Structure 1
């Protein structure tokens, strides 16, 4: 009697969990592609200005040209994203970024780039980002549901931050090897690929918006939703200050301290890399940890963001600065995931993009002002005093936010999160599931 031959071994097909549905997977893949390109392109744009004979002031003008329309058009972008299908807004914004970065690359590669041209193209890129950000955040939050939403947001942020770290490192190496023009060209291609991925998003689960009302009515409705929630506007007001002073400390004072007292650009790069690694660690932590009082935990985790400014004021040796930056990266990511989870739980789906726009606007509006005033503040008070002031402001506004009862008492409501509709789940998933791009 012969034994029948065993069937050939077929490896088990890899299956993604239910919370990583089709929309979520496409959004994460597209975010990785764009972050790989964009973080290198930001460095490339600065070196492109310098290669044309520009100085630090010219680099600042090109940066400001991108930031200003980003702030100006965010609220309109949020209203548009809640009125039109969000994936179409995202694809159109990606197309604008692709064209602007492509033209920027051509100008740099041909050696014909003028300062006003680079400023104009940067402004177009900032405009695209203003429409993209609220649509993307609303789309991401509507793509997940169930008890594992925090894990989904943490994994998304981990993938995005990891791609940003890799993109900056790869971009720096490529600028040295082939010049900034090719890095800008790669960024344009990345926007094209990401836009193509986002074109396949399924918005069938999102209820169609009722026609009429007008843009101003949409903006008023978004403001009413925003202003009616003390935990929301108070934390956004807090981060208007936090983002402003952290931006001034890390983009203006940090490189100066490193150059004069720590040994140059290399130790500052190490400290920034430690911060990036910390964000990855924080995302890993939040994939497992689900704090019940999520805003209380998140707000407490903002206090360590004062430590880098204090470390620069001392200044600490490179090892100590890197450790402080790592810790602040971890705690910032804990806040980011807790914040996204709170928005997902509390804000109606049809208003997510408008509320997100007010969040983005409030959090970034003071950044251009703070970076512009960093130099005069150093001249008036001294760099060390200015840095201690940055640290003190972060501690002060964070302590004030803790006085808001809703911040202390808002709790995770698992049943409501689980009941929220999300994108349809693909057949090859295993089961159901359970904010800072």
Structure 2
């Protein structure tokens, strides 16, 4: 049972597309500001760390946040479900904003060294552990199920925009105000999200009705969430698909592409063009999903996108020249962006809202656990066998995700609400 507060979405409000819903647009503004702030923060952290220490020390500082984020992520999902995702996201952004602005203020007066940057990274990683599951759980509370596919498309567009705009803004902050100015800019961008999130109308599950709530311990709620996912006929195989997709995709795109460009003589500009092709395709997929919403036979369409995308990934290493590689990368972005958006929409619509924070936490942990493993493996394999065979193996791993989609009947037949 769901209790709707007076400030929540009216149950009989006329249906409107998510991109015309003021509630969704306020969420989108908050999410975009927060993500742009994140990008500015990471650039500022890495640049300041490099200026303050050796390359090895700078690498350690930038990697510090990954430890608490990975260790605490599942607990963060429990917190998001127990206290509600909006409350958790607001609190997380407030803490992140305060931490970054505090560091900016310290840097104005002194140069305390790497310990301050390490402490900031540790705080950010700890807060991210509760922020990420809450961000994943919030869309289902601000709109109807029939609009969640559009929301995933809007989220994808916001992510692409943040990736493109964050680096130049961070560079501008550093150029105009040094490290302190860049951190201050990041904090102010994150701060923009707080009043927008506070103005959202949300549907909140009543604490007494939410499975695993009430007097249940956090450990029991975590076990309940894992048991819920394991026994779900759509979510359980979908987690396997996510893991296979990240294992086969992240390494080639992040490490293999640079080595491929070096092998072909494309140079740094060539890497930029290929990445621009990929980003354009992913942005186009997000735009289509945001405007059109759900598609019929979502499970089968997603499987087709994964299988076709895996073929394109394998073909990337065999492109005859840079223009062809850019075109193939655009196709990879389009196919993987569309199938990834459908994956996110299925996670949102097939999860009980009371478990959505824990579901989002497990999905994020699967990605975070696989991605760091795939990059050194890809680099080592390319050094031993070259780019062509490794890209083909990566394509096969991604394609296996499409096979899993087709093999599980409930996932294959999954539909999105319309």
Q: TM-score range, shorter-chain basis?
A: 0.7 to 0.9
Q: 1:368 aligns with which of 367, 372, 377?
A: 372
Mapping of 1:76-91 within 5 angstroms? 76-91=75-90
Whether 1:412 and 2:416 are equivalent positions in the alignment is yes
Residue equivalent to 2:205: 207
User: What are the within-5 Å matches in structure 2 for residues 25-44 of structure 1?
Assistant: 25-44=25-44
Distance 1:115 1:385, change over 3 A: farther
Q: Is residue 220 of structure 2 the alignment partner of residue 217 of structure 1? A: yes
Could you list the per-position Cα deviations for residues 152-196 of structure 1 after superposition, in whole angstroms to 9, with x for gaps in the alignment?
332343234223322234434555666555333211111122123
> What's 2:261 paired with?
258
Task: Tell me which residue corresponds to 2:141.
Answer: 142
**Secondary structure at the counterpart of residue 142 of structure 2:** coil
The unaligned stretches of length 5 or more in structure 2 are 1-14, 209-213
Question: Retained in 1: the 8 A contact 2:142–2:201?
Answer: no
- Tell me how many residue pairs correspond in the alignment: 397
Distance 1:208 1:124 in 2: 31
- 1:292 aligns to what SS in structure 2? coil
2:191 alignment partner in structure 1: 192
TM-score (norm 1): 0.81
The structure number with the bigger radius of gyration is: 1
Within 5 Å, give how 1:308-323 maps onto structure 2: 309-310=313-314, 313-314=317-318, 316-323=320-327
| 1:243 lines up with 2:246 in the alignment | yes
State the partner residue of 2:122: 123
- The CA distance in 2 between the partners of 1:82 and 1:30, in whole Å, is 20
Cα 1:400/1:208, change in 2 over 3 Å: closer
Match of 2:286? 283
**Which protein is richer in helix relative to its size?**
2
Q: Greater RCO between the two (CA within 8 Å, min separation 6)? A: 1
Could you tell me how far apart the structure 1 residues matched to 2:173 and 2:316 are? Answer: 30
Distance 1:197-1:67 versus aligned 2 partners, 3 A rule: same
Alignment partner for residue 292 of structure 1, among 269, 289, 296? 296
User: Which is worse superposed, 171-180 or 329-338?
Assistant: 171-180
Distance 1:276 1:36 in 2: 16
SS at match of 2:391: helix
Query: What per-residue deviation string (whole Å, max 9, x for no partner) do you get for residues 237-295 of structure 1?
Result: 22223213422222223223334534332221222222222222112222226322112
Aligned to 1:3: none
Offset of residue 220 of structure 1:
1.6
Distance 2:61 2:309 in 1: 28
1:132 & 1:220 partners in 2: Cα distance? 20
Q: TM-score, normalised by structure 2?
A: 0.84
- After superposition, the C-alpha distances for 1:71-93 in whole angstroms (9 at most, x for unaligned) are 22111111111111322211221
Q: Alpha-carbon deviation of 1:351?
A: 1.5
Name the counterpart of 1:327: 331
